[in-house]
């Protein structure tokens, strides 16, 4: 059986804070995250592709653009709860701390659904979130 696999990498600057962390990540800080999307199909579309990279970019950026230059927080974080800050800054609050593990999971399920809407033959293999050159998280469903 054949399997075609494609990967595309995106970058996005975000700020976040890990409210349950006991070390430095408890402080507000930023990352230039890289997000790598890996998708596959056993068959190619009419253009002999898994998906056009441009179409993949459109799908992924529809999510990442919302996060671009945002402060990603746990909804229980004091800043996320304070309306003064919500009015001044772009804040996205989650039901969890915005670790690279949880962000990869959110991206995986969101993008997996959107890819299936385009072509039921496409499977999202995994999402990898890089906090920097040396540290990344991979999320996949097994």
- Token couple for 39: 């998708």
Q: What is the pLDDT of residues 96-142, one digit of tens each?
A: 999 999 999 999 999 999 999 999 999 999 999 999 999 999 999 99
First to last CA, the chain: 19
pLDDT at 84 over 90: no
pLDDT at 47 over 80: yes
Mean pLDDT of 7-23: 95
The count of other CB atoms within 10 Å of the CB of residue 18 is 22
Residue 49 pLDDT grade (very low, low, confident, very high; cuts 50, 70, 90) = very high
State how far the Cα of 33 lies from the Cα of 45, in Å rounded to an integer: 31
pLDDT at 87 over 90: no
Residues 100/121, Cβ–Cβ less than 8 Å: no
Q: Domains of the chain (ranges plus CATH)? A: 4-139 (3.30.479.10)
pLDDT at 78 over 90: no
């Amino acid at each position: 059986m054949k399997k075609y696999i494609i990967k595309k990498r995106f970058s996005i600057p975000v700020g976040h804070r890990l409210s349950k962390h006991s070390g430095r990540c408890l402080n507000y800080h930023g990352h230039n995250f890289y997000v790598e999307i890996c998708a596959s199909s056993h068959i190619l579309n009419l253009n002999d592709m898994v998906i056009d990279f441009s179409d993949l970019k459109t799908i992924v950026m529809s999510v990442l653009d919302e996060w671009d230059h945002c402060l990603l927080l746990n909804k229980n974080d004091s800043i996320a709860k304070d309306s003064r800050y919500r009015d001044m800054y772009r804040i996205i609050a989650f039901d969890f701390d915005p670790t690279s593990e949880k962000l990869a999971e959110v991206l995986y399920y969101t993008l997996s659904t959107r890819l299936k809407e385009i072509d039921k033959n496409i499977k999202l293999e995994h999402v990898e979130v890089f906090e920097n050159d040396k540290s990344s998280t991979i999320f996949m469903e097994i």
